[in-house]
Structure 1
């Protein structure tokens, strides 16, 4: 069966990695056009060498190309600010939009948690790299607990894997990730921190997740977390626990105080992850890119299966 043609808007690190993933391993997707605004960008040059049509005039140039008519899915890997215009243009033309920016115009989508829940929406949002890595763990705790009052994540990525788009969206990253920890992960209150690590040699993406739950036993949490890791590994093989989940019981006699929120008793879980990339475009340390592009491709593949081939 013929594959569906897609366009990627944004020829930076994320867009280029996504292009290579689609060309190598997508089940239902085929590259139609790679779009950028810098004619000298490596992403556009690489696309041209691989036989993909290119456009260096952004979204405005894409809609003037004859290939536009055949495009069914538009991936946006630019910025939160630019995405508002890009999304409106693509939706008006009847295209499905997969948003890899923190704009969050459409609902948050994290494949192992809610992949099918929003595929009838014209625009779905991939949250952030930190969100894609950590929200499955937050949800893994939530699904075995009676309550999850709080979850906090710290995403540490190599500064060499953070391009200008990532750096320009740091505030949006933390805000979007925190909201998604609540709306998708199920925490009553969420917090997110990102660290750009300048270490040389570059470090692999590391994520630390702290959850505070009530009504769950450590054995239940540990089993749920390990099962969720396997689910994520089905599309991100380099996703793994660095060590066993750590637990601390917080009693009523010495409650956990969260400033500005309250005091709580229950179970504190500490989850430590490492995300190694597949090195399709950038080196393996860029797991933050790999998990975003892998999630976006998985979402688009599933959209084709459910919407166009049901």
Structure 2
């Protein structure tokens, strides 16, 4: 007979990202979703979270603080509110995993610097575009010195909720900051497209790297290895195109949502939520918040 101690977690935000995140938390053997918080009791997402079996509350961070303590809090609200959320949670001992593109906290991409997250209390997941692009870019730039990096993220309009649309400027700026930090490229450009096309396109990230010298064989091997690592927690991740020529590397990443409550085209939600849950599990295990005994 075995017993398991679950880390007590709460989710701030009941939009598209928050609801898929709840589903992934419920599938985890290490995490226990104790509370989902929205802005208003009339929020449709709170009603859906309740249907999923979660305790819910309205009133944002104030409501969350009243019903704690929590070991881990996921912020799936919006970038403009995140600094306030951290200010309230910093003294509680809870770890805060940020799924908004707010420019604070330590930027973490699981397959690149995920081991650092185990000792952090304020984890910045950059953006869905960052989670898709950085593993490939980091692999590429281990074999060349980039002069310029361009990242173009294209997602289905239906997969972008209200908070995502409000935070597009922060999304671009924070993604660019992460690309710059993880590749050391002196010049970085990030663009975002929301496509109204039907049928909805999968989440796609086009990457361009300009460099003086590059060797195709090591680059291809590194990218393949990086993609394999990401698929261990986000199975719908695929590098669908990789071209290496003199001075230029072009890659296309596509992410489809696999086995969740969201449509397959919503790979943008899937990859950042999968990263969040993975890091939460690792963080909880490292802090002794999850114990298994037989």
Unmatched segments (≥5 aa) in structure 2: none
Q: Does 1:247 align with 2:249?
A: no
Q: Does 1:270 align with 2:255?
A: no
Partner of 2:55: 53
Partner of 2:204: 206
Deviations 1:187-213 (A, max 9, x none): 333221110001012111111011123
- Relative to the length of structure 2, the TM-score reads 0.93
Task: Supply the distance in 1 between the matched residues of 2:120 and 2:283 (Cα, whole angstroms).
Answer: 10
Partner of 2:230: 232
Instruction: Give the secondary-structure state (helix, strand or coil) at the position aligned to 2:118.
Output: coil
Q: Superposition pairs for residues 131-146 of structure 1, below 5 Å?
A: 131-145=130-144
Task: Supply the distance in 2 between the matched residues of 1:308 and 1:144 (Cα, whole angstroms).
Answer: 38
Partner of 1:98: 97
**1:149 to partner: Cα distance:** 2.1
Q: Does 1:17 align with 2:20?
A: yes
Question: In structure 2, do the counterparts of structure 1 residues 279 and 43 end up closer, same or farther at CA, with 3 Å as the change threshold?
Answer: farther
8 Å CA contact 1:142–1:213 kept in 2: the answer is no
**RCO higher in structure (CA 8 A, sep ≥6):** 2
**1:57 to partner: Cα distance:** 1.3
Q: How many residues align?
A: 287
Unmatched segments (≥5 aa) in structure 1: 250-266
Partner of 1:82: 81
Task: Supply the distance in 2 between the matched residues of 1:78 and 1:122 (Cα, whole angstroms).
Answer: 18
8 Å CA contact 2:237–2:254 kept in 1: the answer is yes
Task: Supply the distance in 2 between the matched residues of 1:45 and 1:241 (Cα, whole angstroms).
Answer: 37
Task: Supply the distance in 1 between the matched residues of 2:153 and 2:251 (Cα, whole angstroms).
Answer: 12
**1:185 to partner: Cα distance:** 3.5
Alignment match of 2:10 (pick from 7, 12, 28): 7
8 Å CA contact 1:174–1:192 kept in 2: the answer is yes
Return 97-106 or 116-125, whichever deviates more: 116-125
Deviations 1:79-136 (A, max 9, x none): 1111111111111111100011111311110001000124323201000011000011
8 Å CA contact 1:106–1:121 kept in 2: the answer is no
Partner of 1:282: 262
8 Å CA contact 1:235–1:298 kept in 2: the answer is yes
**1:215 to partner: Cα distance:** 4.5
Partner of 2:277: 297
Task: Supply the distance in 2 between the matched residues of 1:176 and 1:142 (Cα, whole angstroms).
Answer: 19
Displaced runs of 4+ in structure 1, greater than 4 A?
none
Task: Supply the distance in 2 between the matched residues of 1:160 and 1:172 (Cα, whole angstroms).
Answer: 20
Partner of 1:107: 106
8 Å CA contact 1:138–1:186 kept in 2: the answer is no
Task: Supply the distance in 1 between the matched residues of 2:77 and 2:170 (Cα, whole angstroms).
Answer: 13
8 Å CA contact 1:3–1:30 kept in 2: the answer is yes
Task: Supply the distance in 1 between the matched residues of 2:52 and 2:73 (Cα, whole angstroms).
Answer: 19
Partner of 1:255: none
Partner of 1:28: 30
